[in-house]
Amino acid sequence: MPAFAGMTEEGFGKLNEKLRILITGFGPFPGAPFNPTEPLVARLLRLRRPALSEVELTGHIFPVTYQAVDRELPQLLKKREPQALLMFGLATRTRYIRVETRARNAVTTLWPDADHARLRQGSISGGADALMFGPHTARLLGVAAGSGVEARASRNAGSYLCNYLSWRAIEAVGKDGNLRLASFVHIPLLARSGTSLRKGSPRITLEELVDAGEAMLLEMVKLARQAARAS
């Protein structure tokens, strides 16, 4: 029997609709007046590739506040209805790309967010110590490294907004909406045009970062299509 036999009109519509992927970054925060995730997201949204012809890309830059994440993430998921979420954040002390494999149930009570707000407890939620992104992170790591940059898997997304957003995103996967995949990638500081690099600072350029980001985005498209077929 053909695979489509007995499929409803609604089912055909879901198969034919565009794949939707949401790409996010963060704005500046205390200690980081320039956040390279902003130009990275902008560049990825401008990509024109055959593999993206049937993909609807949207982007969002989160203010670096807990309140913004809790307010804006549910709004975005409801309005954009993405099947996949590719998130980027800045790791100021890391010299390479970090593909996060999990979100820790931890949040700092010491460092305020961009609104000068501190959380009063050191955990995000009761229950699990960590939430896992899933085995697809290994494929993102592979294509990132294959683009020519140094990339490593990470089990520690920190205890600031990047980890907090990761936790909230993993919670949303497989719930009532369309979201089936989420990934978070930490990127290092970039040398800004016209400035000199400090000793020991990262040597990755924006162009190299865009190449790695493109590779991960195209892999995310493949993964999201596979997840859509499976569901």
Question: Where are the extended beta strands (E) located within the chain?
Answer: 19-26, 55-62, 84-90, 97-100, 102-104, 130-132, 151-154, 181-187
Q: How far apart are CA 52 and CA 13, in angstroms?
A: 19
The domain tally of the chain equals 1
Q: What stretches in the chain show pLDDT beneath 70?
A: 1-16, 191-202
For residue 184, list its beta bridge partners. 87
Residue 13, in any domain of the structure? no
Flag whether 82 is in a domain. Answer: yes
Residue corresponding to tokens 């609604």: 10
Residue 107 lies in a domain: yes
Contacts of 90 by beta carbon, 8 Å cutoff, 6+ apart: 26, 32, 35, 36, 37, 162, 186, 187, 188, 189
What is residue 192's predicted lDDT score, i.e. its pLDDT? 57
- Within a domain: residue 221? yes
Summarised one tens digit per residue, pLDDT across range 24-62 is 999 998 888 899 999 999 999 999 999 999 999 999 999
Residues 6+ apart with CB under 8 A from 212: 97, 144, 147, 148, 149, 151
The rounded distance, in Å, linking the Cα atoms of 41 and 47 is 10
Domain contains 6:
no
The domain of 209 spans 19-230
The two structure tokens encoding residue 97:
């790309």
Determine, yes or no, domain membership for 4.
no
CATH assignment of the domain containing 115:
3.40.630.20
The separation between the first and the last C-alpha atoms of the chain, rounded to the nearest angstrom, is: 19
Does residue 1 sit within a domain?
Answer: no
